[in-house]
């Protein structure tokens, strides 16, 4: 699983928990429904401003959308992202 896929799962879970359609979330976050769809399919990773807009529209902390995504700095090489096993915030 990659970062975009984990973010997509988190976004879908949070949007459904808020009982919003993609179009409604788009309106609340000032994003086009197509952008919401791309994010939920894991085709795109959000910019920081998009992350903040989505979190605000869903009335949650941005970290909720990043649940299960971890960064580990490298010592002598570049760091890397990893996916934490399971979803620590699933209902």
Range 50-66 average pLDDT: 98
pLDDT of residue 83: 84
pLDDT averaged over every residue in the chain: 92
What confidence score (pLDDT) does residue 57 get? Answer: 98
Please indicate, yes or no, if residue 88 is contained in any of the structural domains. Answer: no
Its pTM stands at 0.81
Higher-pLDDT residue of 76 and 62 is 62
Residue 90, in any domain of the structure: no
> Is residue 91's pLDDT more than 60?
no
Is residue 91 domain-resident? no
Residue 40 belongs to domain spanning = 3-83
Residue 48 covered by a domain:
yes
Helices 48-57 and 22-29, axial angle in degrees (round to 10):
110
How many structural domains compose the chain?
Answer: 1
Which CATH number belongs to the domain containing residue 66 in this structure?
A: 1.10.260.40
Would you give the end-to-end CA distance of the chain in angstroms?
A: 20
In a domain, 21, yes or no: yes
Which pLDDT band, with edges at 50, 70 and 90, does 77 fall under? confident
SS3 36: helix
């Amino acid at each position: 699983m990659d970062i975009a896929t984990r973010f997509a799962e988190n976004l879908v879970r949070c949007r459904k928990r808020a009982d919003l359609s993609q179009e409604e979330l788009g309106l609340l976050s000032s994003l086009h429904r197509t952008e919401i769809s791309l994010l939920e399919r894991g085709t795109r990773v959000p910019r920081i401003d998009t992350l903040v807009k989505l979190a605000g529209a869903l009335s949650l902390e941005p970290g909720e959308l990043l649940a299960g995504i971890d960064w580990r700095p490298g010592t002598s090489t570049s760091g890397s992202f990893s996916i934490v096993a399971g979803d620590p915030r699933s209902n």
